[in-house]
Chain A
């Protein structure tokens, strides 16, 4: 039971990092990204491939974040000037094409079989309590990330990102370089998704293209909006809410006998879809709405 709880907490924290990344893009800056799972995949695969080649964990982690950031920058540079519903299409397309690539380029990604036996960092020293150790490590990373993003949110830079979200024209008139800031925010969010990918790959020690489907992106959106977009605490809370929701539906099959295999998966996805629509209609600001920032004086 305790092992199960630890595993769930690890997944919650990975989702929390993803949700914080999306929060930088959507919550702070108002940038649409329906391809978040793509950056997650770039991080996971980059780190896994390098680790299999024998590179140390900190190196693969940095490389994976850089690679995800690079993809983010390229996508942002080419498409951020588009109208936002086109941006939605292009980002979704990016993650789907990336998945096709992962599925077909066996020489690099192992194709549909994915990559197995990804080494876990310093596992040889901590054999017995590895999962609790991983949980603590992830919690520290998440805490540091949270503090960093809170600083960012309250800084003049964070204020500028919010200004861009509210009214680009006003931000530009105030002398801010709107396009550059948008590219930076998008890149940061992508790098964070890459970071989440690293922890995901090295925890599971196995990754495959089927793990990186658009459903993951939708889950993260649901988490962020349910928690409260624009609010870092909300982004983390949302990951807990969503995972709680998904994990509790797992037990539905104990009560309803016909819910087995693909049926259970289908019901869970239907519930996520319904949840998303209801949130959008009735409570777009989430459980923890964005905090108003008081001006001193």
Chain B
């Protein structure tokens, strides 16, 4: 029982690490553009399939696949922003949220059109899991966790210390003031879209390695991503990480008591509870991004 519990905790930490990247992306985009972007879920799917082409069709090794996926996913994010969101910059947030749902239907079905509905996986060398006591840890899981932690740290540094990060915080805090100060907000939007989609695409590869690749994989995670961001108090990339680990842990540990199929109900329950009782998020903080 104790072993089983530890196993779920470990799985929860890994899935929290994966969730953290789209949760950061969601928070950054929400901070800059001010709407809930439902297309984030499908950027996961897009990333996973870009990597599928690179790794399985073109037979590239997984490291190159991973980098290539991030680069291309970023361009996808920028393309979506320019085509779908740019014509509606001044519209109310809800309109944009609905447009983003349209985007995610389009992307998901493009994947379905090309690759169909069956589950796919990458071409990876088979590695034996490590076993400690009754706990199994896959080497891939450790690498995924390690890589996602590195990205989290890099994003933190970027936001805190770089010029781009400072400009992002300025736009998120007060777009008018930022533009008066000569910050090119369209440029910031482009870069944030690129960064968000690249991070989410990376998470797509990780989800594909950890579970399987199929067109619905991203949209299925959307509630967990929203839950992470909302737990973190929306708009803060730092606390979104905390939110992601909470959601990942809660979802995995819930399997002890609930059928695994109800996992995404946990994320939903957390969203409702937090919005009702602590709308500013679990970690009280007022800073933007």
Contact = CB atoms under 8 A, between A and B. Distances in A.
10 contacts: A84-B94, A85-B36, A86-B36, A86-B230, A88-B97, A218-B101, A263-B113, A266-B110, A266-B113, A276-B105
Given A86-B230, A273-B102, 14 more contacts: A34-B101, A78-B276, A79-B276, A93-B223, A93-B268, A96-B223, A97-B268, A262-B116, A262-B117, A270-B106, A273-B103, A277-B84, A277-B106, A280-B102
A88 B272 CA distance: 12
Contacts of A86: 36, 230, 275
Contacts of B38: 92
Interface in A82-107: 82, 84-86, 88-90, 92-94, 96-97, 100, 103-104
Contacts of B95: 280, 284
B109 interface: yes
Contacts of A214: 101, 219
B259 interface: yes
Interface residues of A, number: 38
B157 interface: no
A142 interface: no
A85 B93 contact: yes
A99 B264 CA distance: 11
A66 B94 CA distance: 29
Given A97-B265, A215-B105, A273-B102, A85 B97 contact: yes
B62 to A, nearest CB: 28
Q: Interface extent on B, as a size class?
A: 35 or more
A277 B105 CA distance: 11
B225 to A, nearest CB: 10
A92 B101 CA distance: 11
Contact of B87 (A269, A270, A281): A281
B60 interface: no
A242 interface: no
B103 A100 contact: no
Interface of A: 32, 34, 78-79, 82, 84-86, 88-90, 92-94, 96-97, 100, 103-104, 214-215, 218, 221, 262-263, 265-267, 269-270, 272-274, 276-277, 280-281, 284
B98 interface: yes
**Consensus secondary structure, chain A interface:** helix
Contacts of A32: 94
A270 B99 contact: no
Interface string B35-62: 1101000000000000000000000000
A89 B223 CA distance: 8
A262 B98 contact: no
B113 A93 contact: no
Nearest to B92: A84
B160 interface: no
Interface in B243-289: 259, 261-262, 264-265, 267-268, 271-272, 275-276, 279
A209 B110 CA distance: 23
Contacts of A274: 102, 106
A270 B113 contact: yes
B275 A267 contact: no
B226 interface: yes
B98 A221 contact: yes
Contacts of A94: 268
A97 B99 CA distance: 23
Contact of A273 (B97, B105, B230, B268): B105
B273 to A, nearest CB: 10
Contacts of B94: 32, 84-85, 88
Interface in B49-106: 84, 87-88, 93-95, 97-99, 101-106
B170 to A, nearest CB: 23
